[in-house]
Structure formats: C-alpha cells, structure tokens
Structure 1
Amino acid sequence: MEPQWLTYGKRLQAIASSGLHFARDQFDRERYEEIASIANEMLANLGSVPIERIEGLISDFAKGYATPKVDVRGAIVEENKVLLVREKSDGLWALPGGFADVGLSAAQNIAKELY
C-alpha cells in the first residue's frame, strides 16, 4: 500500500489534468494549473527529486480524462428489473458506469458511478 500523501499527490495531479483538458475559461484553467503545481511540488518533495522530473513524467498531461482508461460498470437489480442508462457517447443503453478515477479502488469507483 502506498503512502497516503503519495495517493493525494497523484489524485490532485489527475484532477488538474482532467480539469485543464475540459476547462472552458481562463479562470478555471488558472485554478487547475495551480492544483497541478501544488501536486507536482508534493510529489517532488515526497520523492526528493527535482520538480522538473515530476513535470516530465506524464506525457499526455491535460490531453483527456486522466485515468488509466479503465471502465467500471455496476448492476442494480431490483424486483427483476435492471437499471440501465443512456450513454452520452452513442445514446445506447448500458449498465451505469464510466472511467475509473485515480486513487480509488474498483469498488469505490463503481459505487461513485452508481451514485
């Protein structure tokens, strides 16, 4: 199990990366850039390495949703009925779910998506 501060730094870095990719205005971009800077400083301090090394680790930073691109799905069955949702990408019906977030277990991600 990794140290909690390492988990926090990686999650903040992922939030900043996704936020910068999807941000629509300059004020949001500034906020996500600040989060990225704080996360990079945390990770550099934890690893006792120069911040430039941390900044260069993620080649696709801010180029999409920051996950390992693992999809999670969960089923809710009640009274012989199954909950389905329409996918935003294609409009088809599917079990509820989506990309897993960094720093959460599969079970935590599924619970988050179902909520």
Structure 2
Amino acid sequence: MSGTSNVGGRGVYEAGDQRNVKDSEVNEAERYKEGQPNSHKANDSKDERSIANKLDREAKRENEAEPISKEARDSQADPTLPARKHGNEPSKGAKIDAEIQQEEEEMLKKKGIK
C-alpha cells in the first residue's frame, strides 16, 4: 500500500518541497533583508524584530529621507496653489486650510514669533 494516498502519488511531492538549506548559505545571508518587502511595520507591537534590527532600520530610514519636491513645498505654503496651478478651483478643505493657516500666521505675528 505504500505509494498510494488520497491526495496523489509520490510524484506530487518529489519536487523538493522540503529542501533543507545548507548551513553555509544560512550564515552568508544578510539577516535583515530576509523576508517579503514591507512585511515589518515599524509600530507593530507584535513584530518580533530585535532591538538591534529596529535601531538599524531607523538609522537607514534617516538616511533615506527623500527631498521634498517643489510642488509639495509650494502646497505647504499655500494649500490652494496646486489646484489653481492645474486650472481648477481649490476644494473646500484646501480653502479652509488656507484660512486656518492665515489665522495662525496672524496670531504668531501678534505674539512676535514670526
């Protein structure tokens, strides 16, 4: 009865599904880059990465900081600018953001901060 089962013959399992990795390959692997991309979330409390790996990732993240594009800098200065640049009317939220930003700047000027 060997070789027969309800799920298929021996040939189904002979592709090396349970291969063992050589110790030399395990020791040469760069440990932090193993796994799927984006499989670790920085703020995940259940993530079992070591503290050293977390510190290493934060150091790399500081070095990877992308420079802000000109359009992003302009939109921080005036929230309605991107829509007006593209020939559209700014959204209600962008208009409210611009008003709030203007009010905050006025308050800071009154306090002498800006």
Higher normalized contact order (CA 8 Å, seq sep 6+, divided by chain length): 1
Please say whether Structure 1 and Structure 2 have the same fold, judged by a TM-score greater than 0.5.
Answer: no
Q: What is the TM-score with the length of structure 2 in the denominator? A: 0.22
Structure number with larger C-alpha Rg: 2
**Structure showing the higher strand proportion among its residues:** 1
Q: What is the TM-score with the length of structure 1 in the denominator? A: 0.22
